A and B are shown apart, each in its own frame.
Chain A
Amino acid sequence: MHGRRHSTTSNPALNRRALLAAAGAAALTAACGTAEGRPPGEVALHGDNPSWDEPIAAAGRRMKTLAGIELVPLVIPSVESFEQIVKSSLRTSKTPDMLKYWSGYRLQDLARTGGIIEMTGPWKRAAARGWVDPELRGAFTYQGRVWALPMNLTYWVFFYNTEVFAQHDLEAPKTWDDFLAVCKRLKSAGITPLHATTDGRWPAFIWFMEVLTRQDPRFYRDLMNGRGSYNDPRAVRALRTIVSFFDNDWFTPMDMSHDDAAAAVVHGTLGMMPGGTFLTPNLQAAGGKPGADVDAFVLPMADPRARPSMIFESSALVCTSKGPDRAEAVKAADQWLHPRVSEAFTHTLQDGCPNPLVKPANPMVEGIARTVREKRLWMLNRFWEQGPPELVESTVDDLAGFLLDPSSYRQVLRTMQERADEAWRVWREAEKV
């Protein structure tokens, strides 16, 4: 019965074959399309963050009018998958042409492979036009050469609710003692003063980084570059300061996400949230208006004699050596820091801009940028980008252990130093090769 039906109706079988052939051809075409890159006039920029999709597209449209090249965002919304694709393809001709990567040691790790194009030329041309903050150069340099261009400039600040502060006769703190007084006042008013979290793993480093840079920024720089020890009394002092905050019960539960914390700041149940200005959209999503009911301050120095400092973060625009459209990618990179392109990007992202000629994206960012200028703050790169990546991946877990058991601070620092000894040994050996 079935056999007869099949034998008398051959068209469906043919149709199926045709369909399969068409699907196969389509898959083959798609695969070849990827290998051959984008059509002329388009360059793909691969990243790991879906919220950067629209800002990159906005910058790409602006670039099209300036350089005739459109940037097309291609987001792989998983850090792991993104890194896997980058690391596994960098030595092949299938590699993406442009990448949104990390600065600091993570970029150095990539530069060591020889798979990315040197950007010293584009940097110099941008610097000559005043299109880039020269202080950022170190974060993109390896062995005296520049390997990427800054995409954004995130300032690491403390977000707070201006209305809640006004209700309790508080102002953004100007000194370390002011900061402690604000925490005490908020606590007595029944508001949890500070956000700290291990949610998502990486945020575990935030408090160590913030406190250490305000107590001794030079030691932070040395420690992050393998020239200091985690067993040093200055590192112990930083963790003991955080322990005292725990003793005062100033922190939120350690599993409160940044999304929830941003909402809690906007709704007035959380006093202050340390974080990068990339969190501005989180505050806006919770109904906050940056520069109006929500604002930010730079954490004051705990040691007034130390050089005034703050933490920054800047993503790296990288061009790969073997990408199929590398000539167009380099041409696009040359225009990345053009004020009109940078403006389109950072205003859509609502973050700080590495080009000092670009108007800040919102009043809150404007206020922070003014503080940086007026106080001539020393910009230090974030913990995540400092030191061999595999060391950072381990020490964030150690710091999470500390946040969950603050009394373990000495043991945590000993463990971190043991890891640092090994990781720096491997890093320096690789440098010789």
Chain B
Amino acid sequence: MSETLSTARPLRARRRIPTRTPGRASGAGAARGRLGSPGSSLLWAAPALAFVGILLVYPFFRSVYGSLFADNGFTSEFVGLDNYVRLAEDPILGRSLINTVMWVAGTLLLPVAVGLLIAVATYRMRLGNLATLVIVLPYAISGASTAVVWKFMLTSGGAVNQVLGAVGLESLAQPWLLEWPQNTLSLIVAGTWQATGINVVLFTIGLRAIPRDIVEAAHLDGVSGWSMFRHITLPQLRAMTVVVVGMAIVNSLKAFDLIWVLTQGGPSRSSETLALTMYREAFRLFHVGYGSAVALVLSVIVVAASWLYLRRQMPGGTRD
């Protein structure tokens, strides 16, 4: 827009465009000199920078540094990149990565898709708010408590197998938490039960924000049902979907509490994800350096996945 104006009538356009810098906006000239100058902006940002620096940046670089040492909590010895070499050769890394990928895929497939379905199905219902409230309730429960409830359900003698037996479906009864991959899949289902609610709320907010005139125009054009959802609702929900999917990716990569309480990554490390491998190495075995190396690999994956996704999906991101 400004380019068009400047091409047609450059001088007038320049005069008309208000160009107030934050310094001018702050008012008096004296104040501008002290608190509004570009240098003083650093002062305003200092508390935030200090927080981020102390709580995020320093621990990150400390972990990078720590990953170059063989540290057992008592003694520490510089070993260079040995921890990373060991990690690459560790047979558990493969299983851990597969489980992590299963968590990402499962979390995108279940809590996001189911959340969207429930939101679309309930947001116009008379008792839709009540339905949403019921579905969001598990989100208010801590991950550890959720795990305790699901343990009661998923053990071999637990509620799920008992119900299957009671309705004559004994053949479907399984040791849900004992064998891979069904233990990881069971954990994902338990995670879905807890995580879906917040997605329903976010999608419902997104649905309510869709302008009515667009929907009414689509109705007048004879659009309804699946076409309405596919061509009107879904594109209008894009911004909210970006948020929900972004959160789902990060949450699935750092999934920990549910797995730790339900299986401790076992049996025989079969349900371990990268987050659990890191915890186990650093805090159970006191391989602090090795645990730092796992943490760094996990951080790189989380940041890379988030960046790749947001770069493609954020409004304006595709222009880069």
Contacts and interface: CB of A to CB of B under 8 A. Distances in A.
Interface of A: 80, 83-84, 87-88, 90-91, 112-113, 198-201, 204, 253-257, 260, 390, 393, 397-398, 400-401, 403-404
B246 interface: no
B254 interface: no
A238 B131 CA distance: 56
B129 interface: no
A129 to B, nearest CB: 35
Nearest to A88: B73
A356 to B, nearest CB: 36
Interface string B131-172: 000000000000000000000000111000000000000000
B157 to A, nearest CB: 6
A383 to B, nearest CB: 16
B74 A397 contact: no
B193 interface: no
A401 B271 CA distance: 12
A256 B279 CA distance: 25
A84 B282 CA distance: 10
Interface of B: 73-74, 155-157, 175, 177-179, 264, 266-270, 279, 283-287
A87 B268 contact: no
Contact of B155 (A113, A256, A393): A256
Contacts of A199: 155
Contact of B284 (A113, A260, A393): A393
Nearest to A393: B285
B155 A253 contact: yes
B266 A254 contact: no
Nearest to B280: A393
A87 B267 contact: no
Contact of A401 (B73, B155, B177, B267): B267
Nearest to A401: B268
Name the 5 nearest CB pairs between A and B, nearest first. A253-B156, A401-B268, A87-B73, A198-B267, A400-B267
22 contacts: A83-B286, A87-B73, A91-B74, A198-B178, A198-B268, A253-B157, A254-B156, A254-B267, A255-B155, A256-B157, A257-B155, A260-B155, A390-B285, A390-B287, A393-B284, A397-B269, A398-B268, A400-B268, A401-B268, A401-B270, A403-B267, A404-B268
Given A80-B283, A87-B286, A255 B74 contact: no
A302 to B, nearest CB: 26
Contacts of B156: 253-256
A254 to B, nearest CB: 6
Given A257-B155, A400-B266, 18 more contacts: A83-B284, A83-B286, A84-B283, A87-B73, A87-B74, A87-B286, A88-B73, A198-B178, A198-B267, A198-B268, A204-B267, A253-B157, A254-B267, A255-B155, A255-B156, A255-B178, A393-B285, A401-B268
Contact of B266 (A84, A90, A113, A198): A198
B266 A397 contact: yes
**B interface SS class:** loop
Nearest to A430: B75
A200 B279 CA distance: 16
B238 to A, nearest CB: 38
Question: Which of A84, A113, A200, A404: most chain B Cβ within 10 A?
Answer: A404
B74 A113 contact: yes
A201 B264 contact: yes
A199 B266 CA distance: 9
Contacts of A83: 283-284, 286
Question: Which of A87, A255, A398, A404: most chain B Cβ within 10 A?
Answer: A255
A397 B268 contact: yes
Contacts of A84: 283
A400 B266 CA distance: 8
Contacts of A400: 266-268
A89 to B, nearest CB: 10
Nearest to A113: B74
Contacts of A393: 284-285
A84 B280 CA distance: 12
A254 B175 contact: yes
A204 B270 CA distance: 14
A6 B264 CA distance: 53
A43 B279 CA distance: 32
Contacts of B74: 87, 90-91, 112-113
Contact of B175 (A113, A253, A257): A253
Contacts of A260: 155, 157
A403 B270 CA distance: 13
A400 B283 CA distance: 21
Contacts of B285: 390, 393
Contacts of A401: 267-268, 270
A253 B175 CA distance: 8
Contacts of B269: 397
Contacts of B266: 198, 201, 397, 400
Nearest to A389: B285
A83 B282 CA distance: 11
A28 B266 CA distance: 41
A110 B215 CA distance: 70
A398 B264 CA distance: 14
A403 B175 CA distance: 13
Contacts of A398: 268
A254 B263 CA distance: 12
B101 to A, nearest CB: 22
A249 B32 CA distance: 84
Nearest to A260: B157
B284 A255 contact: no
B195 to A, nearest CB: 24
A373 to B, nearest CB: 38
A91 B105 CA distance: 45
Nearest to B161: A253
Contacts of B287: 390
A419 to B, nearest CB: 12
A404 B74 CA distance: 36
A256 B151 CA distance: 11
A329 to B, nearest CB: 21
A88 B282 CA distance: 12
B23 to A, nearest CB: 24
A415 to B, nearest CB: 9
B91 to A, nearest CB: 9
A391 to B, nearest CB: 10
A199 B264 CA distance: 9
Contacts of A112: 74
Nearest to A255: B155
Nearest to B156: A253
Contacts of A201: 264, 266-267
Contacts of A80: 279, 283-284
